[in-house]
């Protein structure tokens, strides 16, 4: 991180944002000199930032079609058929790749001219590739997924019938109680960050509130890049005001002036829905008569998984190359533009209204006392009832599988928590409950709680190669263990798949340990976990790729 670049970017702020100006060049020639002059930064800095994103510059930018190569679609085996269908209408050079489109519930995912499709949508290709006919209805993706709540009273899946009534709670809080009392309610609820790290939300907000600064920011991490995850997309598109309300309360409690939603480019529908929700919020004029001023702004990503890491996300907004920063200082002390910043994920903000409307005690009594409240699970297309499920923290994983009707094909493991999450063999499913502690104690990771079914037909050697390949492409490149380790791992397993040579198990173990202990963030440090799970529980399947010691 460069403090000077952060300060320079802060002079322009959010209203004339360097990153957004870079994104406007997507797939087009980049006028580096002019962008550098306008932003008062160096040409090299602008170039470095622009080349970090899949959809701005490089071989994967400016494509008409993008084929999902995420873990769920890999396991479903749908993508060869989808690509074949796309090749009937496009040249190979017109088709790019994307790590996940959040359509994991029905797979066969692809994007065409900025619109996402999945399931049986390849049947629409003849219509959607034709020139636009202003007198005809455009073909629409028929996406459909189930939403189930296994709680007595829904929290994150609760319907919002009236937007004005929903925000009345904010007006009531402003008029009836001290800000410190409201903050204590968030602390007492035990709400922990739902992005995967599980840090206590109220403590984070309290840290930012104690900082003295003329500027503070609230940032919503909506860069849901974990293949298999689509719970944030559900909230952004189906319950946007729950997310905005949580950000509004956070801004009020810490004294922030801006709420930034960093939404991944791969979610165009989410961007549109949030834009509309912000207009609805502004039409209520809730803030016109008080001293508290707060504005929402959407910043749209450009295809970089590493922006799911909080410090890389902040650097991205600033127009810097999205690279992980060493902590401390933490963002609550020195975050966006070097100002105190609260950064939480979509699901964390979405829980705030329910806590304040009901009580922190009602939220805290769900779970095991350390992991409280509810959790959204993303069930992919391997389940008979794929979609979003809301459960209480502490609920049985086996119960979730049974309530979802089991699987559409024989499954040997569940990959839970994204590419950095654990691979749980089916014999361990009955031993796990949906909370941070249970997964950690068993050697897995709950993370974002996406659940991908790995079918019996899926080669685990191929799957390990897939994980290394993902990490090698998405690494920010700042630390050697991640940047080099992922490439070496990808090469080792590519050669093993082709039968070039057998692997040295000791060498692989050393590589995994180096990545785990030496990486700056959870990308390089986390990917060894699922690989070690495979080596532990599926060694019989993969043992033939290793040198046999005599």
Check residue 135 and give its pLDDT: 53
Check residue 2 and give its pLDDT: 62
Alpha-carbon gap, residue 287 to 295, rounded angstroms: 10
Q: What is the pLDDT of residues 102-124, one digit of tens each?
A: 999 999 999 999 999 999 999 99
pLDDT band at 406 (very low <50, low <70, confident <90, very high): very high
Could you tell me the maximum CA-CA distance found in the chain, to the nearest angstrom?
80
- Bond preceding residue 328 cis, omega within 30 of 0: yes
Q: Specify burial of residue 505 (Cβ count, 10 A radius: 0-12, 13-18, 19+).
A: middle
Q: What is the pLDDT of residues 456-504, one digit of tens each?
A: 999 999 999 999 999 999 999 899 999 999 999 999 999 999 988 899 9
Which percentage of the chain shows pLDDT scores above 70? 97
Alpha-carbon gap, residue 120 to 140, rounded angstroms: 11
- Tell me the C-alpha to C-alpha distance, in Å, between residue 231 and each of 262, 306, 354, 454: 16, 19, 18, 20
Sheet hosting strand 374-379, strand order edge to edge: 146-149, 387-392, 374-379, 450-455, 411-416, 422-425
**Contact at 8 Å (CB) between 392 and 366?**
yes
Both tokens assigned to 96: 């790019």
Query: Does 3.10.20.600 match the CATH number of domain 366-455?
Result: yes
**Contact at 8 Å (CB) between 524 and 482?**
yes
Res. 530: pLDDT tops 60: yes
Residue 358, Cβ neighbours under 10 Å: how many? 13
**Contact at 8 Å (CB) between 81 and 108?**
yes
CATH number of 460-545: 1.20.1440.230
Contacts of 347 (CB under 8 A, 6+ apart): 156, 194, 195, 231, 232, 235, 375, 376
Which percentage of the chain shows pLDDT scores above 90? 75
Nearest alpha carbon to residue 377 among 498, 228, 540: 228
Q: What is the pLDDT of residues 54-95, one digit of tens each?
A: 888 888 988 999 999 999 999 999 999 999 999 999 999 999
Rounded to 5 degrees, what angle do the CA atoms 521, 524, 527 make? 120
Check residue 27 and give its pLDDT: 66
Both tokens assigned to 328: 């401390």
Sheet hosting strand 341-345, strand order edge to edge: 295-300, 258-263, 217-222, 341-345
Q: What is the pLDDT of residues 36-56, one digit of tens each?
A: 888 888 888 888 888 888 888
**Contact at 8 Å (CB) between 228 and 72?**
yes
Query: Does 3.40.50.11540 match the CATH number of domain 149-363?
Result: yes
Q: Looking at per-residue confidence, does 288 or 373 come out higher? A: 373
Q: Looking at per-residue confidence, does 450 or 131 come out higher? A: 450
- DSSP string spanning 3-20? HHHHHHHHHHTTTT-HHH
């Amino acid at each position: 991180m460069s403090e000077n670049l952060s300060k320079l970017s802060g002079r322009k702020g959010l209203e004339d944002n360097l990153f957004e100006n870079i994104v406007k060049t997507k797939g087009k020639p980049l006028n580096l000199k002019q962008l550098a002059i306008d932003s008062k930064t160096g040409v090299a800095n602008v170039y470095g930032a622009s080349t970090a994103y899949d959809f701005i510059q490089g071989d994967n930018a400016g494509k008409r079609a993008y084929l999902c190569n995420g873990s769920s679609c890999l396991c479903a085996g749908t993508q060869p058929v989808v690509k074949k269908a796309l090749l009937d209408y496009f040249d190979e050079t017109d088709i790019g790749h994307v790590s996940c489109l959040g359509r994991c519930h029905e797979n066969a995912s692809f994007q065409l001219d900025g619109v996402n499709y999945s399931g049986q949508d390849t049947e629409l290709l003849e219509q959607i590739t034709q020139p636009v006919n202003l007198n005809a209805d455009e073909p629409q993706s028929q996406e459909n997924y189930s939403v189930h709540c296994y709680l007595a009273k829904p929290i994150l899946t609760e319907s919002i019938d009236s937007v004005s009534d929903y925000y009345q709670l904010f007006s009531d809080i402003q008029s009836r109680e001290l800000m410190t009392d409201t903050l204590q309610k968030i602390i007492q609820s035990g709400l922990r960050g739902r992005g995967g790290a599980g840090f206590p939300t109220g403590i984070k907000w309290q840290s930012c509130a104690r900082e003295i600064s003329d500027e503070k920011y609230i940032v919503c991490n909506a860069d849901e890049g974990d293949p298999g995850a689509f719970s944030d997309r559900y909230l952004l598109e189906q319950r946007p005001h729950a997310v905005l309300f949580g950000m509004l309360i956070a801004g009020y409690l810490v004294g922030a002036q801006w709420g930034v939603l960093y939404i991944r480019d791969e979610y165009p529908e989410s961007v549109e829905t949030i834009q509309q929700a912000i207009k609805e919020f502004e039409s209520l004029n809730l803030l016109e008569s008080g001293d508290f001023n707060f504005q929402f702004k959407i910043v749209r990503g450009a295809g970089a998984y590493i922006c799911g890491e909080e410090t890389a996300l902040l650097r991205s907004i600033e127009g810097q190359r999205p690279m992980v920063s060493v902590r401390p200082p933490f963002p609550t002390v020195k975050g966006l533009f070097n100002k105190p910043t609260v950064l939480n994920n979509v699901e964390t903000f979405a829980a705030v209204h329910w806590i304040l409307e009901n009580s922190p005690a009602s939220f805290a009594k769900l779970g095991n006392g350390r992991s409280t409240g509810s959790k959204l699970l993303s069930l992919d297309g391997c389940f008979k009832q794929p979609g979003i499920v809301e459960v209480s923290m502490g609920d049985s994983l086996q119960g979730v599988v049974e309530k979802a009707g089991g699987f559409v094909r024989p499954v040997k493991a569940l990959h839970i928590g994204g590419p950095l999450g654990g691979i749980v063999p089916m014999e361990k499913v009955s031993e796990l409950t949906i909370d941070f502690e249970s997964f950690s104690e068993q050697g897995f990771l709950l993370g974002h709680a996406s659940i991908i079914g790995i079918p019996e037909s899926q080669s685990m050697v191929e799957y390990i190669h897939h994980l290394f390949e993902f990490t090698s492409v998405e690494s920010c490149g700042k630390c050697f263990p991640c940047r080099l380790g992922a490439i070496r791992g990808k090469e080792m397993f590519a050669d093993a798949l082709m039968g070039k040579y057998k692997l040295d198990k000791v060498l692989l173990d050393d590589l995994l340990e180096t990545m785990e202990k030496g990486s700056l963030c959870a990308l390089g440090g986390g990917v060894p976990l699922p690989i070690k799970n495979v080596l532990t529980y599926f060694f019989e399947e993969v043992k033939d790729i290793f040198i046999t010691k005599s």
